[in-house]
Structures are given as C-alpha cells and as structure tokens.
Structure 1
Amino acid sequence: MEPSPTRTAHAKASSTPSPPTSTAILTATPTPQLPASPPPSVKPSVTSAATEPPAPTKPPAAANPVIVYESTLTIQTYGYEDAFQPTGPEDAIYPYPRLDAALVAPAQPRVYKALVLENDYVAVTILPELGGRTYCWVDKISGRRLLYENTVIKPTQWGYRGWWLAAGGIEWAFPVEEHGLNEWRPWAYGVLKTGSGASITVSDTEDRSGMEVGVTISLDSASPVLVLQPWARNTTTSAHDYQYWINAMLALNENKVSKNTEFIIPASQVQIHSTGDGRLPGEWQWVSWPDYNGINLSLYGAWQGWLGFFAPHLTAGFTAIYDRDVKQGVVRIITPGWPAGTKIFGPGTLPAWLWTDDDSNYVEFWSGATATFADYATLQPGQTVSWTESWYPVHDLGSVSTANAVGALYLAAGEGNLTLGAAVIRGEGRTLILWQNQSPVQTWELALGPGQTFNTTWASGGSESVGLSLLDAEGNVMVQTGYVN
C-alpha cells in the first residue's frame, strides 16, 4: 500500500528470468480432501483479532509430523462487493471491477474457511477465500504472531484498481505492480502430505491474461522454516507481460510495529518508490543505505511520513526485520539475484483509519520476480516462471547480522563489549567461536537445535576485525559473519 502511486510506463525486462535449477516447476495442483476437523490433541490457533500472544513454549525434544486441518475464522468485513462497478475494455483494469466507496456497506461478521498448516515450531493459517493469503503465522517458541492480522476487512483507495483490501498476512500480487488484480477473491486450493511434511497450494486463473498463478506453502517437521514457492504458467497461445510479487504485511508487536523495528537489508543503496518524508528525494531517486544525510533509514522510528523503497542490488541472499522492543524478528532467505525484487514499505505517520478500524499498523516486506514496479517480464506460451524462498522467525537474538538456510547470527559492538547471538534453524549448532584479528578469542560449547537461541556479551578492548562462526558437531561452518579465519 502506498498513497497515490504514480503510474510509470511498463518497461519490459531484457529477458525472462529463469528459476534456479533446484526449483520445482509445478505441473498440476493436487486436490486431496482435508480432514473435517483437527486432530483431537490439537487446538486451532486462529482468531478473528490479534490478542495477547500465547505463553512461550520450549522447543520440542523430538519433531512431530506436520499436521494440516480445516477450521473457520470470523472477521468483521465491510460489504465492499456491494460497491463494485463494472468496467469496459477501455479501462486499464478490465475485466475487474472498480469500487464506489460511497456504496460500501457497513462491516458485518463474516465466516471464512481457514486451512491450518502446523508443526512443533510454527502454525500457519491460510484463507483461500481471500486470495489464498497466509493470514496468520505464529512462532510457537516465542509465542508471538508475526503477520499483521487486520481485525476488519476494509477496502482502501490504493492499489492498481484504485481499491485494495488491507486484510493483512502474506498476499500474492499478479500480474501487475502494486497489489495485483486478483488477490481479493477466492482461490482454489489443494493439500499434499509427504512423509513428515505437508504443503498447501493455492491458485487462480487470472482473468485479463488467462494465465495461471499460484503459490505452494510448505512446512517440514524438522525446522520452523516456511517455504514459499510462487509460480505462474502461461497456458494461452499469446505472450503476456507480467509482474509477480509476494507482499508480507508484518506486525511483530501484538499487531503493531514499534519505533525500534529495524530493517536489515544487505545493500549500499536503495531506490525510492514514494515517500511523505520531506527530507528524502522523490520517486525513483537513489539514496545511500542504511544512513542517508544523517538519517538512519534502517530504523522505523527515524521515518517522518510513509516510505516505500526498492533494494534490487542485494549483496547477500537474505533480508530481515527485527523488533527490538519485543525481541522478535523474521528472516527471508533467497537465492542471490533471484527473485530480482525486494521492496519495503511502511505507512509511518499515516492514520490507521485509512486501512482499519482500530490503531493497529504494519510494514510491508515484498519479494518479486522483477526488480521494481516499473519493470515487467514476459511469459511466452507454454512457459512457467517460479522461485523458492524460505522465511523463518528468530527471537531473543538482538538483531540479525547475517543469515542463511540453517541459522542466523548477530554481532555488534557496544561500549567496551560485544553483543552476540546465534539462532539455529535446521540441524544442531555445537560450537560458537568469537574471532578478533582473525584469531579465536572465545569459544562456547552449545547444543542449539531448531528454534533455539544463544546470546551473551563479551568484554572487548576493541571492535575492529571481529567475527563470529557457528559450527556443527563435525566442525563444519553453519553460518558466520565478520572477520574470521
């Protein structure tokens, strides 16, 4: 969501990006039946509003299989369908409807089908009737809810169509920039169980292009990693330009974003999309990151007004967000260079009534097949585009200095000491080594499993040339940062 987005000419990408070889191209959408109710020993973790987070739990001693079940979720919903206005071929959004805000009916409780995907570490709730979005994501170890869960489904006046449902969660935006065209309506779904893992695929046939679009959301039993595999398939006889974006609306502090929320973007520059902060340059201008003219752009509390920016030139295969007030973060892992797009947006000082009926707020973490909203790629007849990325929660880490598919580290200098943390996502971390001038100065013997975190401080006479390494039981490096040997 960004106020009054400026339309730009569609600039085609120089070539259609190719997914990494490890990415599975989907050829069919499974449609097995879901169980009518969750297993008796499991309580659905779905609510219609953000409430007090459940009490934190200890990491499980042994992983149980992933479970999938069906439930319902009741959310106050404005009668936006009553305000739909048909469009004609001359309209840029045809055949999708415009919306007359004056005709929107008052909010009433509405029951939505909810699909729950859950393991020992996280629980994920998907709403197929609202564009197949992942509406709720709970870190069961810290007890915190990670996604923005709007307590009311309310149309805003933003987006490509001139209206958009800021419902929250993770939405799938296709085939145009901003929030896409078909993210508001019901999508088909299927469930697949594989050994100790499970996945839910949501999909739709987009009306304007006739292309198929979907995403497969997966968990396995061994880690808190949420695997997202977006895909689009051109089954028509014509080539079509497209954009495809994942938009994760995050709110780590009880459905709010604190001023001490930090954006960890491994880049030296970002490109402004739009902003209400008069200290920053205008649209499509580049600024240094994280500091610009004395402004720490990586800290949400430093923003004065809304801000959206792209980071198309990442120097590492991760991005992250960390709320220092509640010691909770989310990490996104990608293949460097693919997907091409990374975008951050926060409403800053915009009033919450624009998208909700309470004082909740959020920030948006985007991931896309093209570098910016000005760039389009092309799918030829018979072509499929897809990619795979992994998202996982971290807690009590301090922040994030680096991250990969198996773990995350934090290392920062304070007054006379270093603060450090290590989180394991997959496998077991056994040895943490602190380096100074490329020599080991301190070692901690650990037994960190998935979802567990270690943090401490270490007295130091200097912060130059320090590094941190986490090793497994065989002495292999799991993740490292800084100056190491």
Structure 2
Amino acid sequence: MTRDNDAPSRIVLPDAPADQAAILAAGGVACWSEPVSIDTYEAGDPDPYPLFLDRRVYQGSSGKVYPLPMIDSVSQTKAPRRWQAIHLENAYVRLMLLPEIGGRIHIGYDKVAGYDFFYRNNVIKPALVGLAGPWISGGVEFNWPQHHRPATYLPVDTRIEREDDGAVVVWHSDLDPLQRMRGVHGIRLRPGSSLVEAEAILHNRTDVPQTFLWWANVAARVHEEYQSFFPDDVGFVADHARRAISAFPRADRAYYGVDYPTLADERADADRIDIYSNIPVPTSYMITDTDDEYFGGYDHAADAGFVHWADRSVSPGKKQWTWGNGPIGHAWDDQLTDADGPYVELMAGVYTDNQPDFSWLLPGETKTFSQFWYPIHRMGPARQATTDAAVAVSPDGAGTRIGVVATTAFENVTITVRSGDAELAEWTTALDPRTPFVQTVDAASDDVVTVTVATADRTLVEWTAKAASDEEPWVATAPDAPEDIDANDELYVTAVHLIQYRHPTRSPLPYLREALRRDPSDSRAATALGAWHLNRGEYTEAKDALETALARITRRNLNPRDGEPFYLLGLACERLGEDDAADRWFGKAAWNAAWAAPATLARARIALRGGDARAALRLAGAAGPIPEARRLAALATAFLGDAASAADALRELHAADPLDPATSALVGVHGDRDARTALDVGAEFARAGAYDAALAATAQTDPAAPAAGLAGPIRHYLRAHWLDAAGRADEAAAEREAARRAPAAFAFPAGLDQHDALVAAVDADPADAVATGLLGMWMLDAARNAEALALLRTAAEAGSTDPVVWRNLAIAAVAAEDDTDAAARAFERALALRPDARLVFERDVLAERRGLDAGARLDLLEQFASLLGTRDDLSLRHVTLLLDAGRVDEAWDILTTRFFRPFEGGEGRVIAAYDRAACTKARSLVETDPAAAVRLLEEGMTPPAHLGEGRHPAERPVERWVVLGDARLAAGDESGAREAWESARAATPLAVAPRPADEATFWTGVAHTRLAEHADADAIWQELDDRAAQLRRERDAVDYFATSLPELALFDTDTGAARERTADALEALASRGRSLHEMIAS
C-alpha cells in the first residue's frame, strides 16, 4: 500500500521485550533486534549498465563507482516498510540502529531531556547524494573509506556482544564495495553512562597499500537558535581541500561567495557562521587546527545538545556542513524529509581533517580507534569536554554562568572557579547525567580564567580561558604542470598527492613520466609507476618499472631501508606465475618491518600453493596475528593432516570475530553473504592453493538483490581458473560452459583475481563472447581502452546478444579511437536488443558529441517516446531539444507536470530549462496578452517545488528579468519595466568568481541596452567575442578544486568541434546584441 505523502509520518519505537525491560529496570543496558515500520520512499532499481566515471568529481575526489551498480531514481510516493532495527538503551540514552542502511545510528534520543540529540528523520527518503545514488539524512553515518560511504545504502552484517562490565556492543561489518577492505564499527552503550561509543576496526585485507578516510557524519536538527560549537582556540576554518579559509566564528571575508562582513553591517551577528540560520547557501567548513578534542552542537530553544570527543592524535577532523538557510537548502530539505526540517552535519574525522584528505593503510594493517558522543542539557554550549564531563562558561548579566554535565554519576565533585590565583567560587556537589550543575558566579566572564571539575582522585574536566590563534593558516594551490616543476622530488610528491587524494581530473602519470624522462632510473617515480601498472593488471610493465627502481636503490646499498619495491615486484612476479622469483622478492621485502607481515604472508601463500605446508605454517606464524595469516596457518595445519587442531584454531578465530566472512566460510557459517564477498573469500583461499575451500565458499548462487552487484558468470570463470590450477581440467571446462549460460546481469568484474580468471577463460576459448565481453568491461574500467575495444569487438563478432556488451563497445569505440560512428552503430544494436532509457540517454550524449542538430537528435529520442519520461536526465534532454526545435508547449507540459530529483552538484539545470521555456512562452504572449506574460514570469521567479531545486543567489534569471521588463512595458507599466531591467543587470549578491561569458551574459547586455546604457552593452558584446576567441584557442581547464562535477560522467563532450559551435553561437549573440543597439539608435 502507499501512503498519502501529506500524511504525517512518525517512527514509533517498540517497548523493550520483557527480558530486556528487566535488565533496564535493574540499571543495565537493554539490547534487542526488532523490525520497525518506517514510511519509505523506495530507491529505484540498480542500473544494469556499468558506469565508468573516472573523471566524475564527487566530494572533491574521484566519483568512480564501478563495480557498484548506480541507482538514479527514487519513488515519489511513500509506503510503510519494515526495516530491520537494533535497539540499544540504558537509563539515559536510547539508540536505534539500521543495519540495512550501512549500519547507521538512525535515532539518538536523550531520555533525560526528552530530546533527539541526533536528527530524527521520521521517513526514509533517499536523495541522489550518495556515491552510487541513494543517501538519507539523519542520525549518524559512518563514512569510510571515502565520503560518502560507498556502501551507505547497502546492508551490513551485525552481532550483539554483551561484555563483562555490563556494556553492550552492536558490531557492524562489511567489505567496502570498491576497495574490498574490511570495516567494522561497534556501537557501545554502558550501564549508568550517557556515553555513546563508536569503536572502529579498519583492516586492509588486500595485497596493496590503500588510501582511506573516516568521517562520522552526525546530523542535528537546526533552526534560528541552533549553534555549533568548536574549541575556544579555533580561529579559522577551511573549505574543501583547503582551497579557501575564513575566520571563525565570525567570518571576516567572503566565504562561499557570501560577504559576511557586509551582512554584519546590516544585521548584528550575521557574520556568525556557527549559527545555521546565518548561512544562506550550501557551505562546508573544517577547522584548521586545535589543541582540544571536543566539539558539538546546542539547541538553545530546547536547552539541549550533544558533545563529541575523540583523541586528537588520530581524530583532528571537525566539520560543519549545511545545505544553507535559503532556497537551495530548503529545496534539499524537501528532497530528504517530509516534515522534520533542516539539519546540519557535524562531522568528526579520524585520520583526516579535510575532504578530501586521505591517509594510507598498508597491506595487512589494522587501525582501531573510538569516538564518543553524549547528550548535554540546561548548560549551554560546551567550552571544554572530556568523556567524563562537559563544562560551559558564558556571560550572565554582570556575572558568569557555569554549567557542568557529567556522563555518569560522581559523588563529592568539587567545582572551582578561579581568576588567576584567586578563587572566585567553589562548590561540592554530586553529578550525574540527569542533573546538570548550573550556578552563576558574581564575576565578569572576562575575569573567569579557569573552571576545574574534580573528584578526590582525578580531574574530570578543566576549562582554561585561551584566545584563538590569529595566524592565518595556509591555503592550498593547484600544482604546476609537470614541465613547469623544477625538481624531480616535487614531481614525485605531486604524483603521490594525486594518487593519495584520488584526484578525479588530474592524472599522476604526466608527473611520473616527466620525472623518468629527466632521470630514467628515478627509483621513487619508477616504484609509483610500477604500482600503477600493477593495479591495472599490466604485470610485465609493472615488473619492468619495479626492476628499474630496484636497480637504482641497490646500486650501492643492497639492503635499502624501504622494502616496498621488493614487495611490489614480488606481487608482479606472483601474478605472472613466477613463484620462485616472487618468493625471493617477498623474502627481501620482509627485511623491512613495514612490509614484513604482508611479504611473509605472501611467502606462506606461495609455499602452501606449492605443496610445502610446513614452510607455509612457519611463515604464517611469522606473519603475525593478521587474520589472513591465522587462516592460512589453519589451512596449512589441515594440509599436514591435523584436522582437529586446524578446526580448533578456526573456532577460536571465529569466536573472536564471528563477522569475518572468510573465517565464517572455513567453519561452515555462510549466512547471507553477498555474492561479491563470496568471490573475495574464495580468491583468498585459492591463492593459497586451498582450492576445495575456495570452491566451497563460492558454491552458493547469487542472492536476489543486485544492489551490490552479482557474480553471475564471473563466479564460474573463477572456479574454472581454480579447477585448472588444481589439475581438474574436465571440471574447469564444465564451469566455463556454465559461465556461458549464466545470467550476466549486474556482473561487473573487478580486481586482479577476476582479471586473471577472465584472461585464462579467453585463452581457453578466444571465441567465448561472455568471457571476452566481461574482460573488455574490466579493461574499460582500468582505462586500457584499446584492449577493451578489441575484446568487445571480439565479443560482438562472436554473436553476443547482451546489450551491455554492445553498449560497452560504444563507449570503448569513443574512448580508444574517437570513432563516434562505430559507437552510434553499437548503440543501435544495444537498443535493438533491449530498449532502455539509459541507452537512449547515452546515445543522445553521443549524438551531441557528434554535432547532430536538435531535429536529428529529437528524431532519435522519439523513436523511444515511451521511455523519455522514465529518467530525469533523459527528460531534461528531451525538454532542451524541444525548446531548441521551437516545440515550446510540449516542453512546458513536461516542466509543469514532472517531479524532478536532482543529483547533488547537478542543481540548476532544471530551473534553467524552466526559465528558458517560460521566457519563450512569455515572448509569444507579449504582443497579444502582456498581462498574462507578466503573470507567467512573475509566478516563476520562485521555482515551483516539483522542480526539486531552489535558486542559487549567484544564478540570476537574467533573461526572465529582461522579458518581464518587456512584458511590463507592453502592459503599460514603464516603471515596473525599468525595475525588471535593472534587476537583470544588477550584480550578483555573492562575491563569486566571474563566470565565462554565456547566453546569460548576452541578456545582461540586452538589459543595458533597454536602459540605454550603451557603453556597458558594448562591453558585454566584446566580452562575448573575447570568450569565443578564447574557446577557439584552447579548451577550458577543469577547476582543480572542484567538489562536484557530475557532467564529467560519460563522454568528453568538450571537443574541438563542440567548442567551435559554442564560439559561433557566442559570436552570433554578440552580433545580435550590436544589431539591437543599432536598431534602437536608428
């Protein structure tokens, strides 16, 4: 059933079951699993076509989503859905966790204050904000290894653990869908404590170094009286990638285009960016430095809030994000909730202090840390906090108000207030989370220097007055072009930065190649290049580069300090089947402690695969306590015939970590493991020669839900590869035959194990259309475009009837050879096999790139008229082409009836089409019914809600203002006409960088002309000509610091021919403007 979208939604939390209620009544922690009905706008079906978005800019870094399927639609209606939920409660706090949506905390409720200290969203209403599409607001999202969490809308495995001290932890575990590292986070609640702890365990189970960040993303409901608080010594904040800074809490300059000092001249405190309501546009800020370890938010209306605390040595990140208290923000509020209103995100970063800002996790490495939150009330914003207590110090008339909240009960707490050596006040009291201590000291706040809260044996929290730093922090700059960098060291550092920070539009290769051009044996550049080739499956090229690096670093010193080149060379040799050489290189890498564990594990893997179980057992023990080594030791023990000891070791390992999917597989617990995780588990065993275990782990078929991707034929090709290695050729051939018959939907191969299996399958049968198609897909993701094209052509020529193969062939034809005609033919074949809205959309992007006119493109689109309304992006392209072709009424019908859902970063396009259509309709009415034209244009100045977007202050509807002025003049309203034209040419209220001249620039010139400001108009026409000349000279560089550019998603449409067409259009506009001027003058 569906529910009226206007009907109020409210999550009703269930009562604790009798056994848990008894624990709660006794002062303990209740925890139970029970579904909860939540009104839900369901996410759409995953896209059956893989997306190769290497240049997509997302949150300032790569928006690559492959091999995850993209979901790019959300239902417009809500219906009740029962979500799996885990409830955690003690005397002070109640939490509700949602394992099916990334293991997030959805509700954090302060039972004492009766207040949701985390934002409670009473509907599940995804918006297209996530890396792979759907994302919801509210509660706490745990983002890793990038922001937002790639698996944010995917389920996690869970278990409930009761600890000896009465605490309860709810553990959540999954393998990241992109990098395949394992992330575990446990939400812990203790008896008698208001502390909510998130303990994270991040493990790199892969062979190679990986980059990661961790941001715990807390949402807090906001309004005009909500304040975000940060440590007293925070004097500056930075934007994404530190591309800009501002003073804090009072912005002392334009930030995100908003001139806060000028606003403060007009309205007191309007420059306070710690107050949500002062921020009119989407805005992020991250503190640049602090010596303290806390921050949080406070609702002055409710007199309640929360504190976050974490060890600053690993958790420097403290951030606020808001959609803004303006039209854009309000539109996004409507996209994300029905009635729960706006929120801010108060994010806590670990091993990161910015976005993007990534750290390294080496192979086999595990990082663990904890973060803590707790509710506060009746005390005001905290000025200092620990995990024991928080203290507030604020002016109170002529005196100073002191507030303290503790996280657990303490007797005989002494609270001392000092001014220098002078004691101003001292109280002794009991503290607990229910009863804040609040008193006023008869002293001005400037005279209060220290507040100490202590028991007899320790200090709970101490605040000391300190000023924020007034030293401006550094601001990032874009790197120079490789040829403009003097030193090889700088070239290498720049390349590593681009790799580490996953830069979406700048490649590290030019920097590495320039370094190697200058010094062909540069060991650092050669090592980085070798790693790059290795990750792309180019093992011979990787080996060559790494041997070059080793030749240099061992020229005088046979025992270098860094073992990485040895280790990577071992990996390359192992992939090439050169196990003896690999073993030698791994052995040498293990001389260095940083690489000893993964290198020794690799040697154990080779030994067991080669049949030397005793050596494997010895080496696995030497590799240390990493779980991969302990599993391999158990496998080696079983190979040696001691099955009982092996089983005991595995049971012990499983008892310590029941959610580890590989250990679970070895003890026979398979559960609801997703298909791709099963393949990872099997590959781990197969690489150690444990082929029976690998086959058992991959025996199950795919689950029904494809959101994380399916295994399909990939599973069979892997199994065939392993069976061949085990000498079971007949069974391998049967698996390859099964692969050719298996459904291939959502089977997007990824990782080197799957690459190797597909290479083996193609070698076994070069005419296998399924294997060649899948390997071509893998190559396309790796940007090995020429090889992808050859493989996909082979699959097509072998008679593939999979539309995914033909669509991928179209993409490869453009990527490898810029053959748009071949791509068009491939799209035709794909559409013949499966008429699909995405294919229609992508074919039109290709048609635009080919330079087809609006009529020809419309003819192609309208071959599939029934599909045009099924996607927002396709519908918007249809509207644009209808307007180009003069079919305005048809475009207007779509724009006034369709509900749109924008992708974050793609806002403004629907409004632009809406304005263009409105202006075109209004111009047709000016002569016959100017009053109707005026109404049409005035009513749309505030876009209707169904467009899903709000106007950005920097995006003025210039043409709408000009045509409105014309309509008012035709209606006899001369003063109104002038007012409209003046609005059209008025400067943007934001201090944003000037945008390149475009059609809006032309309409600004028209406004000047209407106002007889001819010199200004002439300058506009020259600006259009200058922009046209610039486009003919060179293409625009993509902004190095861009945070969101979804338009870089498919084909590069910024071709020379496209720039020529744009330049022609701009020159035509300039000529039209001058003609208008001359007509008026004559």
2:27 corresponds to: 64
Residues 1:290 and 2:249 aligned together:
yes
Shift >4 Å, 4+ stretches = 41-44, 88-91
2:239 corresponds to: 272
Residues 1:205 and 2:172 aligned together:
no
The Cα of 1:94 is off from its aligned counterpart by 0.5
Larger helix proportion of the pair? 2
Cα 1:360–1:483 change in 2 (3 A) is: closer
Q: Choose from 188, 204, 213 the match for 1:243.
A: 213
2:623 corresponds to: none
Cα 1:465–1:156 change in 2 (3 A) is: same
The Cα of 1:172 is off from its aligned counterpart by 1.5
Cα 1:373–1:457 change in 2 (3 A) is: same
1:7 corresponds to: none
The Cα of 1:260 is off from its aligned counterpart by 1.6
1:96 corresponds to: 68
In the alignment, the residues of structure 1 paired with residue 77 and residue 385 of structure 2 have an alpha-carbon distance, to the nearest angstrom, of 45
Q: Choose from 151, 155, 163 the match for 1:182.
A: 151
Q: Which residue identity is paired with 1:441?
A: L
Q: What's the secondary structure of 1:158's corresponding residue?
A: strand
Q: Choose from 37, 45, 50 the match for 1:74.
A: 37
- 8 Å contact kept, 1:152–1:167: no
In the alignment, the residues of structure 2 paired with residue 79 and residue 320 of structure 1 have an alpha-carbon distance, to the nearest angstrom, of 32
Name the TM-score, length of structure 2 as normaliser: 0.37
Q: Which residue identity is paired with 2:323?
A: P
- 8 Å contact kept, 1:85–1:100: no
The Cα of 1:447 is off from its aligned counterpart by 1.3
In the alignment, the residues of structure 1 paired with residue 457 and residue 223 of structure 2 have an alpha-carbon distance, to the nearest angstrom, of 39
Q: Choose from 110, 114, 126 the match for 2:97.
A: 126
Identical aligned pairs, as a percentage? 23
- 8 Å contact kept, 1:438–1:466: no
In the alignment, the residues of structure 1 paired with residue 281 and residue 364 of structure 2 have an alpha-carbon distance, to the nearest angstrom, of 44
Cα 1:134–1:457 change in 2 (3 A) is: same
Q: Deviations over 1:289-343 (max 9, x none)?
A: 1122251122223222232111242220111211111111110111123123222
In the alignment, the residues of structure 1 paired with residue 304 and residue 89 of structure 2 have an alpha-carbon distance, to the nearest angstrom, of 20
The Cα of 1:87 is off from its aligned counterpart by 1.7
Cα 1:85–1:451 change in 2 (3 A) is: farther
Q: How does 1:330-409 map to 2 (within 5 A)?
A: 330-349=306-325, 350-351=329-330, 352-368=333-349, 369-409=351-391
In the alignment, the residues of structure 1 paired with residue 436 and residue 343 of structure 2 have an alpha-carbon distance, to the nearest angstrom, of 26
In the alignment, the residues of structure 1 paired with residue 444 and residue 216 of structure 2 have an alpha-carbon distance, to the nearest angstrom, of 44
In the alignment, the residues of structure 2 paired with residue 157 and residue 115 of structure 1 have an alpha-carbon distance, to the nearest angstrom, of 26
1:443 corresponds to: 426
- 8 Å contact kept, 1:156–1:355: yes
In the alignment, the residues of structure 2 paired with residue 439 and residue 478 of structure 1 have an alpha-carbon distance, to the nearest angstrom, of 21
The Cα of 1:436 is off from its aligned counterpart by 2.5
- 8 Å contact kept, 1:425–1:451: no
The Cα of 1:157 is off from its aligned counterpart by 2.7
- 8 Å contact kept, 1:411–1:467: no
Q: Which residue identity is paired with 2:183?
A: V
- 8 Å contact kept, 1:38–1:70: no
The Cα of 1:389 is off from its aligned counterpart by 1.4
Q: What's the secondary structure of 2:246's corresponding residue?
A: strand
Deviates more, 1:163-172 or 1:225-234: 163-172
The Cα of 1:73 is off from its aligned counterpart by 1.2
Larger strand proportion of the pair? 1
The Cα of 1:90 is off from its aligned counterpart by 5.8
2:190 corresponds to: 220
Q: Deviations over 1:446-477 (max 9, x none)?
A: 111244201122333673243322121x1643
Q: Which residue identity is paired with 1:458?
A: V
Cα 1:412–1:90 change in 2 (3 A) is: closer
The Cα of 1:89 is off from its aligned counterpart by 5.2
- 8 Å contact kept, 1:37–1:69: no
| Aligned residues between the structures | 416
The Cα of 1:164 is off from its aligned counterpart by 3.3
Cα 1:109–1:198 change in 2 (3 A) is: same
Q: What's the secondary structure of 1:354's corresponding residue?
A: helix
The Cα of 1:105 is off from its aligned counterpart by 5.8
Q: Which residue identity is paired with 1:365?
A: L
Q: What's the secondary structure of 1:129's corresponding residue?
A: helix
1:455 corresponds to: 438
Cα 1:390–1:451 change in 2 (3 A) is: farther
The Cα of 1:97 is off from its aligned counterpart by 2.2
- 8 Å contact kept, 1:436–1:464: yes
1:19 corresponds to: none
In the alignment, the residues of structure 2 paired with residue 194 and residue 88 of structure 1 have an alpha-carbon distance, to the nearest angstrom, of 44
In the alignment, the residues of structure 2 paired with residue 378 and residue 185 of structure 1 have an alpha-carbon distance, to the nearest angstrom, of 25
Structure 1: 5+ residue runs without aligned partners? 1-35, 45-59, 252-256, 275-282
In the alignment, the residues of structure 2 paired with residue 320 and residue 68 of structure 1 have an alpha-carbon distance, to the nearest angstrom, of 26
- 8 Å contact kept, 2:394–2:445: no
2:402 corresponds to: 420
In the alignment, the residues of structure 2 paired with residue 328 and residue 72 of structure 1 have an alpha-carbon distance, to the nearest angstrom, of 29
Cα 1:83–1:372 change in 2 (3 A) is: same
RMSD across aligned C-alpha pairs, in angstroms?
2.6
Q: Deviations over 1:45-89 (max 9, x none)?
A: xxxxxxxxxxxxxxx9x9712121112211122231326453245
The Cα of 1:242 is off from its aligned counterpart by 2.1
In the alignment, the residues of structure 2 paired with residue 299 and residue 86 of structure 1 have an alpha-carbon distance, to the nearest angstrom, of 44
Q: Deviations over 1:400-457 (max 9, x none)?
A: 1111111111112243111111111135152222222431122222111244201122
Q: Choose from 102, 109, 112 the match for 1:138.
A: 109
Q: Choose from 215, 220, 226 the match for 1:261.
A: 226
Q: Which residue identity is paired with 1:471?
A: A
In the alignment, the residues of structure 2 paired with residue 396 and residue 450 of structure 1 have an alpha-carbon distance, to the nearest angstrom, of 11
Q: Which residue identity is paired with 2:236?
A: Q
Q: What's the secondary structure of 2:32's corresponding residue?
A: strand
The Cα of 1:37 is off from its aligned counterpart by 9.1
In the alignment, the residues of structure 2 paired with residue 63 and residue 43 of structure 1 have an alpha-carbon distance, to the nearest angstrom, of 9
RCO higher in structure (CA 8 A, sep ≥6): 1
Cα 1:63–1:315 change in 2 (3 A) is: farther
Q: Deviations over 1:126-153 (max 9, x none)?
A: 1111111111111111111122222222
Structure 2: 5+ residue runs without aligned partners? 1-13, 55-63, 253-260, 262-270, 467-1082
- 8 Å contact kept, 1:224–1:451: no
Q: What's the secondary structure of 1:304's corresponding residue?
A: coil
2:635 corresponds to: none
- 8 Å contact kept, 1:86–1:96: no
| Bigger Rg, which one | 2
Q: How does 1:148-187 map to 2 (within 5 A)?
A: 148-161=119-132, 163-177=133-147, 179-187=148-156
Deviates more, 1:351-360 or 1:65-74: 351-360
Q: Deviations over 1:331-378 (max 9, x none)?
A: 011112312322211222211212122252211111223221222222
Q: What's the secondary structure of 2:277's corresponding residue?
A: helix
- 8 Å contact kept, 2:287–2:317: yes
- 8 Å contact kept, 2:408–2:431: no
1:471 corresponds to: 454
